Amino acid sequence: MQYLPEDETIAGIDIGSRSIELVVLNSNGPLRSAKTPTTFDPLGQCKRLIEGIGAIRVIATGYGRKLFAESFKEIGAATVTEIQAYALGARFLCPEAKTVLDIGGQDTKVISLSDDGRVLKFEMNDRCAAGTGKFLEFMAVALQVPLESFGEFALRSDRRIQISSMCTVFAESEATSLMARGEPPENIAMGLHMAIVQRTTAMVGRVGLSAPLVFAGGVARNPCVVRLLEEQLGQPVVVPDDPDMVGALGAALYGRNGAAVPI
């Protein structure tokens, strides 16, 4: 591996459908991080994030990585896949990590790692918002609950009900029908969270679960999803202090080390 001189910095940027994360590091580790909404001008948002960071190179991952690399060639922009970035970031934060789960705005990914951090297998759902942060956001609006407190709201439920549909349109219709029959909204919120976790654990099962599991992405901040995951998987999950930053951190590590996680 080729490591940076101590005084030189590398930046990793994760350009997702809902938000953009930036991590800047040098040979001693992370120096700073920042986050901004993607909006309808992702390149403009990226430009504002990287302005003045002083990095000798920027590595992009996420949906917008190729567009970023093409638009910022003058700063030595390069790309790394989301699978590689999340594997690197998770292993940096939890060196014993064997499974990585990321639930983002519009996709879910599960990655199985070997003892030395190699990617053994992965599965990614990026064709439907079902089971992602966007689904939770949509349903929080439908129930008139702030998204940031939706998980805590669901945890106040007094019974668990089944939501049969994971399509946002049909799930909203089902939720409306339940409310019309007098079901408390907290119970409906719990049912929606359960549906997401059941879908997610099925993905984990297909990839193969080995502990410890690192839970990354914005949905990792939802306490109800974390609790239900631990119940369904029968073991604790590791949630980093800044789960949103795992991909950007991994991209920066890729640039710093000059090596990818082999697939």
* Domain match, 120 and 214 both: yes
Q: pLDDT tens digits, residue range 33-80?
A: 999 999 999 999 999 999 888 778 899 999 999 999 999 988 878 999
* Domain match, 102 and 11 both: no
* Domain match, 1 and 73 both: yes
Domain around 108: 97-239
Q: Are 16 and 218 in contact (CB under 8 A)?
A: no
Structure tokens at 133: 């942060």
If DSSP codes are grouped into helix, strand and coil, which group holds residue 69?
Answer: helix
Query: How far is residue 69's CA from residue 58's CA, in Å, rounded to a whole number?
Result: 9
Structure tokens at 131: 């089971």
Q: pLDDT tens digits, residue range 88-108?
A: 999 999 999 999 999 988 889
pLDDT at 94: 97
Q: What is the DSSP string of 44-57?
A: HHHHHHHTT---SE
pLDDT at 125: 82
Residue 233 predicted with pLDDT over 60: yes
- Mean per-residue pLDDT, 127-153: 85
pLDDT at 2: 40
pLDDT at 104: 86
- Picking from 39, 34, 37, 36, the residue whose alpha carbon sits closest to that of residue 24 is 34
| Mean pLDDT over each residue of the chain, to the nearest integer | 89
Confidence of residue 3 (pLDDT cuts 50, 70, 90): very low
* Domain match, 21 and 41 both: yes
Q: Are 185 and 143 in contact (CB under 8 A)?
A: yes
Structure tokens at 188: 């409906």
17 vs 128, residue with greater confidence: 17
* Domain match, 129 and 170 both: yes
Residue 131 predicted with pLDDT over 70: no
pLDDT at 169: 65
* Domain match, 147 and 234 both: yes
10 vs 2, residue with greater confidence: 10
55 vs 197, residue with greater confidence: 197
* Domain match, 151 and 65 both: no
* Domain match, 136 and 224 both: yes
Query: How far is residue 111's CA from residue 55's CA, in Å, rounded to a whole number?
Result: 29
* Domain match, 254 and 233 both: no
Domain CATH for 213? 3.30.420.40
Q: Are 60 and 21 in contact (CB under 8 A)?
A: no
**How many domains does the chain contain in total?**
2
* Domain match, 148 and 73 both: no
* Domain match, 127 and 148 both: yes
pLDDT at 164: 74
pLDDT at 26: 87
Residue 149 predicted with pLDDT over 50: yes
| DSSP H or E segment with residue 32 | strand 29-37
* Domain match, 227 and 165 both: yes
Lowest mean pLDDT, pick from 52-66, 112-126, 128-142, 151-165? 128-142
